[in-house]
Structure 1
Amino acid sequence: MSADAQLYEEAFTITALAPQAYDRVTRLLATSTDATTSLTLDINSELYPLQPGENITFLLAQTLNLDGTIEDVSKKGWRPSKSSGGGGGNGGMGESTLADLWDYVCYGKVYRHEDVGEGGNIKVYVSFGGLLCCLDGPYKKLSPLRIDNVYMLLKK
Structure 2
Amino acid sequence: MSTDSILFQDIFDIKDLDPQGKRFDRVSRLVGRSENYEMDLTLDFNAEIYPLKVGEKFSLVLASSLSLEASASVGGVEKKESWRERAPGERDLSDEYEYVMFGKVYRYEDSNKGSTAGQQVQGKLIVFFFFFFFVSSVYVSYGGLLMCLEGDYRHLQNLTVGENIYLLMRK
User: Greater Rg, structure 1 or structure 2?
Assistant: 2
Aligned counterparts of 1:35 and 1:85: Cα–Cα separation in 2: 36
User: Would the alpha carbon gap of residues 35 and 52 (structure 1) be closer, same or farther in structure 2, given more than 3 Å must change?
Assistant: farther
Kindly indicate whether residue 151 of structure 2 is the aligned counterpart of residue 149 of structure 1: no
Counterpart in the other structure of 2:6: 6
Q: Counterpart amino acid of 1:104?
A: Y
Task: Give how far 1:79 is off.
Answer: 2.7
CA distance in 2, matches of 1:107, 1:150: 6
User: In 1, are the aligned partners of 2:10 and 2:36 still within 8 Å (CA)?
Assistant: no
Q: Which has the higher strand share?
A: 2
Relative to 1, partners in 2 of residues 1:68 and 1:62: Cα closer, same or farther, differing over 3 Å?
farther
Written as runs of structure 1 = structure 2, the 5 A alignment for 1:106-125 is 106-118=101-113, 119-125=133-139
Over aligned residues, Cα RMSD in angstroms? Answer: 1.5
Structure 1 residue 23: Cα displacement:
1.1
Match of 1:126 among 134, 140, 145: 140
* CA shift for structure 1 position 80: 1.3
Correspondence for 2:122: none
- Normalising by structure 1, what TM-score? 0.86
1:35–1:66 Cα change, 3 Å:
closer
Q: Give unmatched runs, 5+ long, in structure 1.
A: 89-94
TM-score by length of 2: 0.79
Q: How far did 1:2 drift? A: 2.8
> 1:85-104 alignment to 2 at 5 Å?
85-86=87-88, 88=89, 95-104=90-99
Runs of 4 or more consecutive aligned structure 1 residues displaced over 2 Å after TM superposition: 1-4, 68-71
Q: Which of residues 76, 80, 83 is equivalent to 1:79?
A: 83
Determine the structure 2 residue equivalent to 1:91. Answer: none
Letter in 2 for 1:117: N
Please report how far the alpha carbon of residue 3 of structure 1 lies from its aligned counterpart in structure 2 after TM superposition.
Answer: 2.4
> Percent sequence identity over matched residues?
41
Q: Secondary structure at the match of 2:94?
A: helix
